Amino acid sequence: MNTANRSDIGRIRMVNEDRSWVGFLDHGVTLAIVADGMGGHQAGDVASQLAVDAFRDALTELPADLSTEQAKLLIRQAILQANEVVYDVASQNEQYHNMGTTVVAVLLQEKCVVIGHIGDSRAYKIRDGLISQLTEDHTLVNELAKNGQISPEEAATHPRRNVLTRALGTDPQVEVDVRALPWKSGDMLLLCSDGLSNMISEEEMLGTLQSEDLNLDGKADRLVELALQAGGDDNITVVLLQDDSEAEQEG
């Protein structure tokens, strides 16, 4: 599995509240997570780091014959464990009151990818020249758009598009969206914070990710640069995962 992991503070923010991690476990399993923290007095970066650490700690060992249903259960449990950790720290420390974070995480096996998410950090899949968004934003604006109260074009530029309807760590209980999808050689996954998805279009993403002049690290760098060129209004985090079995066979 080829991976690239990039994060940039952007042009406006004083602190990078995004955190990300990619890890490789036994039995060919790849894990990845992006978390975009929120809260005053630098609580956002505390929340996102706690979430990433708790997620990673929850999935240190996996069974060799992990089924898709087991994988879905495990990623849900890991995210719920992270919610408990962040909520507990926020409850016990006044300076972290109401801190929280988005999270989008994947558990990737040879033929299946399982995605869990809360908030508006996104996962995209790139296959056969097409890009598809795999997660649905838990935002006020997305709810308005789904109900037909505003158009997709209005949603893209709505002044309250960053208002979340669901976040990790702000409540003792939270609902995690989990889904499983088939995975095949040549597929690519993009995980990102809204500092990327709010600044560049899916067409720009796809154009970069299909570039034959860039390796995976170069593609991640280019995506960050495009978001910076578009204004860099927020922290920008990009994780790319691509099955490299084809390249190995060719070599």
Give residue-wise pLDDT tens across range 169-193. 999 999 999 999 999 999 999 999 9
For residues 22-35, average pLDDT: 95
- Percentage of the chain surpassing pLDDT 90? 81
**Nearest to 103, CA basis, from 122, 87, 88:** 122
Start-to-end Cα distance in the chain: 15
Instruction: Tell me what pLDDT residue 247 has.
Output: 44
Can you tell me the distance from the alpha carbon of 85 to that of 241, in angstroms, rounded to the nearest whole number?
27
Under 8 Å between Cβ of 59 and 25: yes
The average pLDDT across 15-31 equals: 95
* Residues 56-88 pLDDT 10s: 999 998 888 899 999 999 999 999 999 999 999
Nearest-10 Cα torsion for 159, 82, 197, 147: -50
Predicted TM-score (pTM) of the model is 0.94
Angle between helices 43-58 and 68-92 in degrees, nearest 10: 140
Contact between 47 and 132 under an 8 Å Cβ cutoff? The reply is: no
188-219 pLDDT, tens digit each: 999 999 999 999 999 999 999 999 999 999 99
Q: How far apart are CA 98 and CA 72, in angstroms?
A: 28
Homologous superfamily (CATH) of 2-250 is PPM-type phosphatase domain (3.60.40.10)
* Closest C-alpha to 67, from 79, 57, 75: 75
**Confidence at residue 151, expressed as pLDDT on a 0 to 100 scale:** 81
pLDDT digits (tens, 9 = 90+) for 220-249: 999 999 999 999 999 999 999 998 764 443
Residue 78's alpha-carbon distances to 55, 75, 93, 179, in angstroms, are 5, 5, 23, 15
Average pLDDT, the chain: 93
Q: For 113-142, what is each residue's pLDDT tens digit?
A: 999 999 999 999 999 999 999 999 999 888
CA angle 176/112/208 to nearest 5° reads: 85
Percent of the chain with pLDDT over 70: 96
pLDDT of residue 251: 33
